[in-house]
Amino acid sequence: MNFEADSYAVLRYARVSPKKVLMVVDSIKGKKALEALDMLKMVRKKAARFLEKVLRSAIANAEHNFKIPADQLFVKTVLIGRGPYIKRWKPSAYGRALPIRRKTTHITVLLERRI
């Protein structure tokens, strides 16, 4: 992927609903990357753990690949995409089976350098 950002990281097939990730994403957009990491540590939601993991990876990519210090990075945007359903079956009465569809999410964090 070719983005207009200095660095990015992608987490695919995260076992959380895209709606639940969107609730957490709004709090970190536009913030400094290190400040966003601190905020995500305080959020008590499963989606925050996934976002923290991707944000750490994007910061590491910027430091390693482009030699950009972490204190100059800002969260440009966070892209949330729907992944495939994980399909399971639940036994039910009278020998029937009911479907269980577990949602997955693709999360992309784009960082940019600001001085």
Give me the residue spans of the domains in the chain: 7-113
Closest CA to 36 of 78, 80, 79, 7: 78
- What is the reported pLDDT for 114? 87
- Neighbour tally for 12: CB within 10 Å: 12
Decide: 61 and 9 in contact? Cβ < 8 Å: yes
- pLDDT confidence band for 115 (50 / 70 / 90): confident
CATH second-level architecture of 7-113? Alpha-Beta Complex (3.90)
Q: Is the pLDDT of residue 2 over 80?
A: no
Backbone angles phi, psi at 50, to 5 degrees: -65, -45
SS3 (DSSP) at 65: helix
Q: Work out the mean pLDDT of the chain and round it to a whole number.
A: 93
SS3 (DSSP) at 29: coil
Q: Which residue has the tokens 């997955």?
A: 104
Decide: 55 and 109 in contact? Cβ < 8 Å: yes
Length of the chain (residues):
115
